Chains A and B, each alone.
Chain A
């Protein structure tokens, strides 16, 4: 136990965060038993993608933005086509919209399965990495990798390859798969439902730290559980058109990070699976809500550690949604609608695996991009992660040894599934106890 003399001042540095997508660090300074400074530093070099897009044709945008991330390329493609089609006044029709949901479900399944099994779960079972965890829990890891493989197969079905897919165009898809391919994958998706249900129950049975924190949840809103487009809403009464994002959400730079911080009314907010479940569980099909009702977690949840269970539930949902949409699959005569560009500004949003991904494009009369702005989910969550760390570390006990503090910090950060490669625009922890 800490007595007065042990209420030391400490400075803790985690120089390289592992098991996150990208490079970052954490600096923590504790003075007289109080957190004096806490900075999540993202030091991947800025990606400058917005500048690369300038002068390019609207037709190139889906393939270019897919290169921003190898884990969530579909998200970038979906926000981009949403923005450009909104500007050009194009409705690609129900077939394209349904298949975009299927493609996006593939990405949620792939990305969430990767995060749960390979990145986050070892924290909750006390392993250094998935290789160590796999020795004791081989069936769970194999199951997770099988689900991830199905997500990849869905992306390949519509995107021609599973990483950086190339099947998306403004107006629809370059290619529609034939019915035999669809039926084949549909069978595998149906077979995986019991495994996905067991995986949800497994994550919900994990002994997660108890936390209660207050934060606004922000997500897109559409008639169905949100994937592509719609309004932007919060559980604190915000409901805006996607074109009004820049008026409500302010981004700013902090010297310690190459990612921008985003605030809503000056406050941190949460995007991602838990924000979506907190806002939109009434839009889930009965099969998913029945499973949720049988779990020992009440939604909406104020415990950020429920993020992993939310991710698992979304895998189960995405399987159901892909099965529903592919079950009615018919190959169209043409998998896209014609596009005529026009000058102006287009706004797009979609729900990346890690949360709201907002795009804006200024386009000239020839359809060339003159300016672009991309606000990825990890930079939106960055301020929330720091706020969570302050609360979590205080709850955990600042008098804990440095190693325990560092582990807890990493666990809190990883729980958000930060994609730092996307946001640069992870953990070295440095702690000072003074």
Chain B
């Protein structure tokens, strides 16, 4: 696997920041040198630009899927492209952007999403809720094993990887 990207998707409010936190934690782990890390703020359809040229992409995002707050879910490419979609009027969400990417044949061969169930009772705009904060190590562990599985056994680990951002 030549190029792998991990993209934390979110916004600077409450549990929606968790994708960025997970990516920042991942940056301190030994990772294959083919991995790039990125934080995106509500990218809409422009998410597809950051998938271009990649062999594999893992998205990390907060979810509202009805599980217990802090639950960590792994969604496969198939899961992501068959989930029921709600068309958001103001901008495309991740699921819609991926559906558009599939129609345009822009998606990488390997695609997954690590989702962390947000806490609906979280009222702080600044901080993560406790259950979501506590879920970060588990999300990082899932990511690490997925990346290890995807990367070539021959690629050497790189100690620190810079996190690129495109914020609003």
Contacts and interface: CB of A to CB of B under 8 A. Distances in A.
Given A134-B100, A141-B104, A163-B41, A22 B89 contact: yes
A135 interface: yes
Contacts of A20: 89
Contacts of A132: 103
Contacts of A135: 103
A383 to B, nearest CB: 22
A107 interface: no
Given A149-B49, A152-B46, A161-B168, A129 B103 contact: no
B45 interface: yes
Interface in B12-64: 41-42, 45-46, 48-49
B168 A134 contact: no
A138 B87 CA distance: 19
A283 interface: no
B104 A70 contact: no
Given A18-B89, A70-B168, A163-B168, A138 B46 contact: no
Contacts of A130: 100
Contact of A138 (B48, B49, B103): B103
Interface string A129-165: 1111011001001100100110010000000011110
Interface string B151-168: 000000000000000111
A421 B89 CA distance: 10
A22 B91 CA distance: 9
A161 to B, nearest CB: 6
Contacts of B45: 114, 118, 145, 148
Contacts of B117: none
Interface residues of B, number: 22
A131 B49 contact: no
B119 interface: no
B78 interface: no
Contacts of A114: 45
Nearest to A426: B89
A19 interface: yes
A187 B96 CA distance: 31
B135 interface: no
A21 interface: yes
B46 A149 contact: yes
Contact of A22 (B85, B90, B104): B90
B92 interface: yes
Given A18-B89, A149-B49, A426-B89, A162 B100 contact: no
Contacts of B46: 148-149, 152, 162
Which 5 residue pairs spanning A and B have beta carbons closest together? A134-B103, A163-B168, A131-B99, A135-B103, A164-B168
Interface of B: 41-42, 45-46, 48-49, 85, 87, 89-92, 96, 99-100, 103-106, 166-168
Interface of A: 16-23, 70, 114, 118, 129-132, 134-135, 138, 141-142, 145, 148-149, 152, 161-164, 421, 426
